Structure 1
Amino acid sequence: MKLQLALDRINLEDAKSIAKEAQAYIDIIEVGTSLIKDYGKKSVNFIKENFKDKVILADIKTCDEGEYEFKAAFEAGADIATVMGNAPLGTIEICYEVSRKYNKDIMIDLMETNEDRIEELKKLDDAIFFIHLPKDNKSGNLIDNFNKKSTVYKGIKRIALGGSVKEEMLGDILTINPEILVIGSAITKSNNIELAARKFKEAL
């Protein structure tokens, strides 16, 4: 299982510092949506230049302008870019084609994506499907949300899981066994970032 570190709601220098402390135990560095909104494409390039040996994900959450946004993310240094599962189907298909052209990965964020659309998207069988508890969600937790739709997720080859992940969830997460586990504040807001990242990596 790969560990993805989500960097959000901080400045670029703090993002670099946090990633450096955790880098021995993480596989993917996520340039979060807030960083991209605050600093633009240069945030992706900045993280890639400082962590050349890591996979870089640009969480651009594309909803439209798929070709333009995905090309921009990949040319800035991203290895993975995100598109929303509830975006127009044509947008998602364009993003998928751009990712194939650049020999990069697409992650489809399934937040607020209905079951019919998920079934439709399964044809993109080498895409990564991100099962995501929204930041503003005040009810339930990641595991409960997964279990509610577990049948519709069957047949998906590549799953990423994330959203308010805590240590006590790891038993359930290991049972689900996603390809990628996305962790943010449980590491980034820890008093000892390196230790927190190591504990998660060892547990996985």
Structure 2
Amino acid sequence: MTQAVTEIKRCFPQLEVLADLKIMDAGYYESEMAFKAGADYATVLGVTDILTVKGCVDIANKMGKKVVVDMICVPNMPERIRQLEEVKAHILSVHTGADQQTAGREPIEDLRVMVEHTREAGISVAGGINSKSVAKYVALNPDIIIVGSGITHNPDPAKEAAAIKAAMRKGA
């Protein structure tokens, strides 16, 4: 991981780099490796122990970086948001995974809960978002909208990316 992050940062120093590590233990140590390699953000799973998240946040603050808490499969979102804000997590990310998407789930309801209960942290959303659905996410005003397979699995990725961008501008 560190070599890839270092190389990406070397080639594109003007861009922010996220190391999507989905840390589950040893938060301080794992995040520190990512940040030393050049990552600006590292992800930690929201279902992990709060001490792991705190370790990630502590080293991020020390190094001037940020932690993104991936909220995939978090069962009690309002309570977990409260706990994560107590340790000053930087960004909370609603995430509906690919397996959940095949069962018909979308991140929109979790995003509504996140928007209602988050007081300080930034909010991001990911999971099955495309040009046809992005407007409803824009309407809830998250700080970050992540689009992956909506672009990469599209037969015309450039056209889809442009359509998403246009829909986001229209909804903003």
TM-score (norm 2): 0.85
Q: Which runs of 5+ in 2 are unaligned?
A: none
Structure 1 CA distance for aligned equivalents of residues 114 and 67 of structure 2:
22
Structure 2 CA distance for aligned equivalents of residues 154 and 122 of structure 1:
8
Q: Which runs of 5+ in 1 are unaligned?
A: 1-39
Alignment check: 8 A CA contact 1:129 1:156 kept: no
- The one-letter code matched in structure 2 to 1:98 is I
DSSP-derived class of the 1:165 partner: coil
- The one-letter code matched in structure 1 to 2:108 is I
Which residue pairs with 1:165 in the alignment?
129
Percent identity between the aligned chains? 29
Alignment check: 8 A CA contact 2:67 2:90 kept: yes
CA deviations 1:67-118 (Å, max 9, x no partner) are 2110110111100000111111111101100000110011011112223222
RMSD, matched Cα:
1.9
- Which has the higher mean CA deviation after the structures are superposed, 188-197 or 87-96? 188-197
Counterpart check, 1:174 vs 2:138:
yes
Alignment check: 8 A CA contact 2:94 2:114 kept: no
- Number of aligned pairs? 164
CA deviations 1:94-148 (Å, max 9, x no partner) are 110000011001101111222322221122446100011012112321213434x
- Which has the higher mean CA deviation after the structures are superposed, 88-97 or 126-135? 126-135
- The one-letter code matched in structure 1 to 2:123 is I
| Aligned counterpart in structure 2 of residue 118 of structure 1, from 81, 88, 101 | 81
Structure 1 CA distance for aligned equivalents of residues 31 and 43 of structure 2:
8
Distance 1:81 1:151, change over 3 A: closer
Alignment check: 8 A CA contact 1:67 1:95 kept: yes
Higher RCO structure (Cα 8 Å, ≥6 apart): 1
Counterpart check, 1:189 vs 2:150:
no
Distance 1:102 1:131, change over 3 A: same
Structure 2 CA distance for aligned equivalents of residues 45 and 198 of structure 1:
29
- Which has the higher mean CA deviation after the structures are superposed, 92-101 or 124-133? 124-133
- The one-letter code matched in structure 2 to 1:141 is E
| Aligned counterpart in structure 1 of residue 69 of structure 2, from 86, 108, 112 | 108
TM-score (norm 1): 0.73
Alignment of 1:56-135 (within 5 A): 56-113=17-74, 114-115=76-77, 116-125=79-88, 127-135=90-98
Structure 2 CA distance for aligned equivalents of residues 54 and 150 of structure 1:
27
Alignment check: 8 A CA contact 1:96 1:106 kept: yes
Which residue pairs with 1:199 in the alignment?
163
